């Protein structure tokens, strides 16, 4: 059972959206909060707001697409607060367009932030957790990492990688004898934060409200769950893909549920 009271929690992309809500939950539960974000003005506004609520909070301007930025700031955090007990790997970006319309820069940025950034952040903080014999790494992936979707190819690819890597690290911690260093992989569908503005909810898969998702993740982390998926229909994806021939699954997901048309009107931030 992971507890948050008196723990140090680091959140990437914590200046807004669900990252900010994770910070608020941590404060409510008596944790010390460290926020990383590249948006300096939003970061300062969030820090001021949370400090006004009595939060013990510090912040760092970090570019998670840069290993150098991650390593430099991780060292500062570890020197300042000691071992980080819980890390929310939350920072992410999305480009909603066909693969052939992506620029080189968009592909590179998406993979650097969504995939490599997540790995480098974990690499920076896991050794101290292992040495302490306790910790929790929460990696915010996506249901897009479980199901193909037009106009999400690079984003989906970046999240597929996160899911495979994240759950492998969970098993590695157990295999190496670090059973109290937990890893939770989160695979939500579309979230109503503005990041997926214009996306259409597939059948039986409503757009998630940020506060509800944060509550679900929080409870899942407390119970050391390997996966937190939302909404409930996301739990059916592995079973459906495993049982159905590809074209049958395409018909169900694409034609009946409307997944493959869900990004047609995507606008984003």
On the 0-12 / 13-18 / 19+ scale of CB atoms within 10 A, 121 is: buried
Assess whether 155 carries a catalytic annotation: yes
The SS3 assignment for 48 reads helix
Question: What tokens were used for 79?
Answer: 């020197």
Q: What is the DSSP letter of 83?
A: S
- Decide: helix, strand or coil at residue 20: helix
CA geometry: angle 70, 74, 78, nearest 5 deg: 175
Is 140 exposed, middle or buried (CB count within 10 Å of its CB: 0-12, 13-18, 19+)? buried
Read off the tokens for 9: 């929690």
From the list 60, 155, 190, 260, the catalytic residue is 155
Which residues are annotated as catalytic? Answer: 155
């Amino acid at each position: 059972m992971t507890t948050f009271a008196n723990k140090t929690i680091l959140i990437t992309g914590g200046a807004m959206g669900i990252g900010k809500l994770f910070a608020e939950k941590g404060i409510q539960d008596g944790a010390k909060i460290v926020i990383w974000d590249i948006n300096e003005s939003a970061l300062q506004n969030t820090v001021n707001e949370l400090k006004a609520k009595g939060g013990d909070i510090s912040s760092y301007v970090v570019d998670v697409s840069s290993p150098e930025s991650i390593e430099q700031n991780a060292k500062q955090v570890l020197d300042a607060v000691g071992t980080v007990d819980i890390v929310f790997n939350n920072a992410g970006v999305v480009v909603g367009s066909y693969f052939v319309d992506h620029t080189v820069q968009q592909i590179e940025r998406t993979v650097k932030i969504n995939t490599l950034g997540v790995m480098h952040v974990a690499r920076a903080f896991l050794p101290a957790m292992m040495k302490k014999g306790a910790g929790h790494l929460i990696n915010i992936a996506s249901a897009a990492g479980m199901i193909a979707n037009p106009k999400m190819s690079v984003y989906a690819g970046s999240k597929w990688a996160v899911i495979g890597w994240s759950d492998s690290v969970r098993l590695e911690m157990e295999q190496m004898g670090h059973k109290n260093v937990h890893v939770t992989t989160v695979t939500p569908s579309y979230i109503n934060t503005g990041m997926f503005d214009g996306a259409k909810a597939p059948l039986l898969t409503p757009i998630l409200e940020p506060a509800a998702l944060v509550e679900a993740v929080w409870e899942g982390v407390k119970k050391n769950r390997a996966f937190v998926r939302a909404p409930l229909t996301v739990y059916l994806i592995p079973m459906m893909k495993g049982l159905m021939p590809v074209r049958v699954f395409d018909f169900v997901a694409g034609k009946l549920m409307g997944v493959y048309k869900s990004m047609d009107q995507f606008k984003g931030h």
